[in-house]
């Protein structure tokens, strides 16, 4: 084995999950951010965990409204994933800029992209300072799935996006 930096570790665990985190802006429109650091934490009761960079506009939105939808996108949304990961919702309406078709999510006012394999509606119950990120522990409220959509995964760390394939 060779010693590596933690930033290089995702290359060794590919494919890695990649999602949108959907929040609501003060004007009621959707804010979408590309989210790589998330996982399931418990199934009974349902909990998820995700981590956001301290500079993210989404942190401000979560502080005001501790509600979120994690959306696992299909391949049709690959370009939107890249675009949403390289721009701030503070300055632009990403759904309009990247042509993302949206849908209502039962149980919340937060909208999420269409063409997703999974939507997880949750509320933030705890936050933890993790140096350059903030970790959010969330209680799952609802989960919706579409088995006809193939999820996007990050490969080679986060250098490329594609569907997962069985070996």
- For the whole model, what pTM was predicted? 0.93
6-163: in CATH 2.30.110.10: yes
- Domain ranges (residues) in the chain: 6-163
pLDDT tens, position by position, 75-130: 999 989 888 887 788 888 999 999 999 999 999 999 999 999 999 999 999 999 99
Q: What is the pLDDT of residue 7?
A: 84
Q: Is residue 23 within 8 Å of residue 55, measured between CB atoms?
A: no
């Amino acid at each position: 084995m060779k010693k590596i930096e933690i930033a290089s570790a995702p290359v060794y665990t590919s494919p890695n999950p990649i999602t949108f985190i959907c929040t609501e802006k003060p004007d009621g429109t959707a804010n979408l951010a590309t989210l790589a650091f998330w996982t399931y934490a418990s199934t009974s009761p349902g909990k998820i965990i995700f981590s956001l960079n301290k500079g993210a506009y989404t942190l401000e939105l979560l502080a005001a409204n501790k509600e979120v939808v994690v959306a696992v996108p299909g391949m049709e949304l690959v370009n939107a994933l890249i675009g949403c990961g390289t721009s701030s919702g503070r300055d632009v309406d990403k759904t309009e800029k990247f042509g993302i078709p949206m849908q209502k999510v039962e149980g919340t006012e937060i909208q999420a992209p269409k063409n997703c394999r999974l939507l997880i509606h949750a509320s933030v119950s705890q936050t933890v300072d993790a140096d350059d990120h903030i970790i959010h522990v969330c209680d799952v409220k609802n989960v919706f799935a579409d088995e006809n959509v193939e999820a996007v995964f990050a490969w080679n760390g986060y250098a490329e996006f594609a569907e997962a394939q069985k070996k």
